[in-house]
Amino acid sequence: MEKVKPKKHLGQHFLTDLGIAEKIAKSLTGHQGIRKVLEIGPGMGVLTDFLLMQDWDLYLVDIDSESIRYLHKKYPDLGDKIIEADFLTGDFATVMQEPYAIVGNFPYNISSQIFFKVLEQRHQVTEVVCMLQKEVAQRIASPKGNKDYGILSVLLQAFYDIEYLFSVSPEVFNPPPKVNSGVIRLKRNEINKLDCDEKLFFRVVKQGFSTRRKTLRNCLKSMGLTESLNQDPIMDKRAEQLDVQEFVGLTKKLQESWNQ
Ligand SMILES: C[S@@+](CC[C@H](N)C(=O)[O-])C[C@H]1O[C@@H](n2cnc3c(N)ncnc32)[C@H](O)[C@@H]1O
């Protein structure tokens, strides 16, 4: 079968090391008893081959029509489960219907956007195993106080337990990317709902990190801080010094101060 020509604008760096592909596929655990799996960006199916050796109900989504033609030839039995779509704009809540896990060697240029979409679908997405740019992987898994800790770390850590699994060097891809890669696993935690207004929590986290070097007092002032909240010692801190629970506490304080 003629191979897919790598397209830079689609982040196509095809993994050539079968051992690593197998290791990624085996990192999926079926957390919370889920068998339905969506692979984002299967390309030529290097991960897919190993996923199909396991007992998953597997769906594939790729934006590239050349990859899709290749996958249909390679896996004729998958039929409609091979989906040509943009994961970022497609309605996968409806396609998948039930809770599902995500796996993939993500297109690195859109990996943060993929995670914002995962957050929107957090009630349905039980697990994510993925390879992405090492720095982004580290940032997502990073604890508070670390220079890498940011918006995605807090938001994802609020709903998922995150593990950095292993690093992968550029030589095992065709063409090799300019950056190192990292594989992470996210397992949805048991907390169905945060103990605060979740929409406000998202706003507080995003606004809190809007200027990293500034205190929360400065970053959040456009949100209408009352005088008493303005005096609260937490406002002297910077966003990177707060973990998820502290952000939840801050969100509750903000809401209560508005209700007074
Ligand atoms: C890094 S490659 C990985 C390919 C293959 N899984 C491998 O490991 O060799 C990323 C894949 O994501 C696909 N892709 C890029 N943007 C996408 C999007 N928005 N939605 C779905 N797939 C996308 C690309 O076409 C490509 O096949």
Query: What is the secondary structure of 24-66 as a DSSP string?
Result: HHHT---GGG--EEEEE--TTTHHHHHHHTTT-EEEEEES-HH
Domain shared by 175 and 202, yes or no: no
Sorted by sequence, the CB contacts under 8 Å of residue 204 that are 6+ apart come out as 220, 223, 247, 250, 251, 254
Please state, in angstroms and rounded to a whole number, the distance separating the CA atoms of residues 18 and 172: 9
- What was the pLDDT predicted at 213? 87
Residue identified by tokens 């109900």 is 57
Q: Tell me the mean pLDDT in the region 143-160.
A: 95
Q: Tell me the mean pLDDT in the region 152-179.
A: 97
Cβ(181) – ligand 1 distance below 6 Å:
no
Q: Token pair for residue 148? A: 């890498």
**14 belongs to a structural domain:** yes
Residue 146 belongs to domain with CATH number: 3.40.50.150
**100 belongs to a structural domain:** yes
Q: Which residues pair with 36 in a beta bridge?
A: 57
Q: Token pair for residue 14? A: 């095809």
- What was the pLDDT predicted at 1? 85
Distance in Å, CA 87 to ligand 1 centroid: 10
Q: Tell me the mean pLDDT in the region 55-60.
A: 96
Residue with the smallest CA separation from ligand 1 atom 27 is: 43
- What was the pLDDT predicted at 247? 97
Domain shared by 98 and 181, yes or no: yes
Q: Tell me the mean pLDDT in the region 205-218.
A: 94
Q: Tell me the mean pLDDT in the region 2-27.
A: 97
- What was the pLDDT predicted at 224? 87
For the chain, how many structural domains are there in total?
Answer: 2
Domain shared by 134 and 169, yes or no: yes
**222: containing domain:** 198-259
- Residue 86, φ and ψ in degrees, nearest 5: -90, 120
**166 belongs to a structural domain:** yes
Question: For residue 231, which amino acid is it?
Answer: Q
Percent of the chain with pLDDT over 70: 100
The helix-helix angle for 111-120 and 151-159 (nearest 10°) equals 40
Choosing from 155, 188, 221, the residue where a domain stops is 188
- CA-based R_g, the chain, Å: 20
Q: Is the pLDDT of residue 192 over 80?
A: no
**144 belongs to a structural domain:** yes
Domain shared by 105 and 203, yes or no: no
Residue with the smallest CA separation from ligand 1 atom 4 is: 43
Domain shared by 97 and 37, yes or no: yes
Domain shared by 152 and 248, yes or no: no
Question: Nearest to residue 85, comparing CAs of 53, 123, 42?
Answer: 42
Domain shared by 207 and 105, yes or no: no
Q: Tell me the mean pLDDT in the region 123-147.
A: 95
Please state, in angstroms and rounded to a whole number, the distance separating the CA atoms of residues 178 and 158: 31
- What was the pLDDT predicted at 5? 95
Question: For residue 207, which amino acid is it?
Answer: Q
Domain shared by 162 and 241, yes or no: no
- What was the pLDDT predicted at 134? 97
pLDDT confidence bin for 208, thresholds 50/70/90? very high
Contact status, residue 47 vs residue 39, Cβ threshold 8 Å: yes
Residue 239 belongs to domain with CATH number: 1.10.8.100
Residue 180: in which H helix or E strand, if any? none
Q: Tell me the mean pLDDT in the region 164-169.
A: 98
Please state, in angstroms and rounded to a whole number, the distance separating the CA atoms of residues 56 and 117: 22
- What was the pLDDT predicted at 259? 85
Q: Tell me the mean pLDDT in the region 127-138.
A: 97
Domain shared by 70 and 162, yes or no: yes
Question: For residue 109, which amino acid is it?
Answer: N
Cβ(18) – ligand 1 distance below 6 Å:
no
Contact status, residue 127 vs residue 96, Cβ threshold 8 Å: no
Domain shared by 214 and 175, yes or no: no
Q: Tell me the mean pLDDT in the region 215-233.
A: 92
Please state, in angstroms and rounded to a whole number, the distance separating the CA atoms of residues 72 and 181: 28
Distance in Å, CA 162 to ligand 1 centroid: 22
**3 belongs to a structural domain:** no
**1 belongs to a structural domain:** no
Q: Is the pLDDT of residue 120 over 90?
A: yes
Question: For residue 69, which amino acid is it?
Answer: R
**229 belongs to a structural domain:** yes
Contact status, residue 22 vs residue 101, Cβ threshold 8 Å: no
Which has the higher per-residue pLDDT, 224 or 158? Answer: 158
Across all residues in the chain, what is the average pLDDT? 96
Is 79 one of the annotated binding-site residues?
no
Domain shared by 205 and 164, yes or no: no
ipTM for the whole complex: 0.99
